[in-house]
Amino acid sequence: MTPTHSDALVLFGVTGDLAHKMTFPALYAMEKRGALNVPLVGVAFPKWNMERLHRRVTDSIKRSGGIDNKRALRQLLSRLTYVSGDYTNPATFAAIKKALNGAQRPAHYLAIPPSLFATVIKGLGAAGLAQNARVIVEKPFGRDLASARDLNRVARSVFPEDSIFRIDHFLGKEAIMNILYFRFANSFLEPIWNRNYISSVQITMSEDFGVGKRGGFYETAGCLRDVIQNHLFQIVALLAMEPPAGRDYGAVQTEKAKVFKAMRPLHPDDEVRGQYAGYRQEPDVAKNSDVETYCALRLFIDSWRWEGVPWYLRSGKYLSETATEVLVELKPPPQKLFEDATPKDGRANYLRFRLSPCSAVALAARVKLAGKEFVGDQRELYLLEEQPGAEAPYERLLSDAMAGDGALFTREDAVEAAWAVVEPVLKRHHRVRSYKRGTWGPRGADALIAPDGTWHNP
């Protein structure tokens, strides 16, 4: 049965940074292409009037790329009403119900601090605003296994699982979706996509900037919670999953969840934690902080396809450049027929996914150089996959959630299984190692990957 489209969108945290940076530009883009045809109810604590909220929306769109369709902006602003109130006060939810003006299938988007998720969800249930409705929850969904279970329990007590959309903007990126497509739309990959032909997999998500004004947040999260347990684990799932029975929500989510459940729980020796020099002098950071701004992991997936294949994940602040790449390294040929069959850097053939800042797929293969000698060089067959006009992540994800399409969201069992993998090292881990800004992190990460080669730097 085709899901019914939401007939209103309630934006909790409408005056906050996330709404300003991501939500308003996404709604403006939806308006421009005629995909937004529902009323919008903004909810937040400040006692703003509509004029101030309109200025906030307009400023957001100007900063995100400019106003190129004044009619669409006027239409977007005309859809918006505002409710000011405390999320712990039942009167706030009564006011939301009145502002919905008879809408029967609202979608509630919680762009608010995680500590308020349960409060708002319970408030929606108590006010009768959850019936036939959907709830869209921003990451992080919990900060460990216990809190994730608690939040799931609260959410499921109010909404059915297929009405809960755990949003991770990373999954809405075109390059991330291309991994799923590239894997299962091309038949040449399947025979070699296993432990018999793949020696290791690396995923790097690097940033050349620091925590900025987010020092207080980072002190409560750290790199492992902030990007690896969610963003990078999602990439692992897309690379490692078995072929789903179809492209529907349930089939894709089931195979992704199986990957998380097959991941071996981490041990402290599987992790290298780093902290860039000067982090402890950042605003709102403890002077003796042991929070990691860099994290490298060695991961194993105990399944028939991936048994014994190491997965190396790393991410960090103030690294050499901002980029996200995947390197799938193949095993060398079984017999060394040519003397130069192994490249100087020791890397055999590989498949490389460039996810940001541009999107590309590359296949490295050896080709013979001109002359009588059987000497060659490794070259990349490179496919640039930039697609102008592609939907931005939040535009796609908000559209999908309101349409009831959960394929790009995360299911309850997958969330809990992913937390179970990192749970052992959340409290029991080695201390951070300092690293210089502009490098590729602490040297200990090189020792972590040494048994299987070296890091591929994007």
Active-site residues, by number, are: 231
Type of residue at 56: R
Taking the C-alpha atoms of residue 241 and residue 257, their distance in angstroms, rounded to an integer, is 9
Type of residue at 209: F
Per-residue CA distances from 400 to 80, 142, 363, 372 (Å) = 20, 23, 32, 58
Q: Which pairing describes strands 310-316 and 198-206: parallel, antiparallel, or unpaired?
A: parallel
- The runs of H, that is alpha helices, within 33-114 are 50-64, 70-79, 90-100
Taking the C-alpha atoms of residue 258 and residue 244, their distance in angstroms, rounded to an integer, is 11
The set of residues, in sequence order, having a beta carbon less than 8 Å from that of 356 and lying 6+ positions away, is 173, 175, 322, 323, 324
Type of residue at 429: H
Q: DSSP letters of 107-148?
A: EEEE-S-GGGHHHHHHHHHHTT--TT-EEEEESPS-SSHHHH
In this structure, what token pair is assigned to residue 277? 């020099």
Q: What is the dihedral of CA 101, 103, 109, 114, to 10 degrees?
A: 70
In this structure, what token pair is assigned to residue 382? 């490179």
Q: DSSP letters of 370-400?
A: SSSS--EEEEEEEEE---TTPPPHHHHHHHH
In 3-state terms the chain splits into helix, strand, coil percentages (rounded to 5) of: 40, 20, 40
Cα Rg of the chain (Å, integer)? 24
Cis bond leading into 140, ω under 30°? Answer: yes
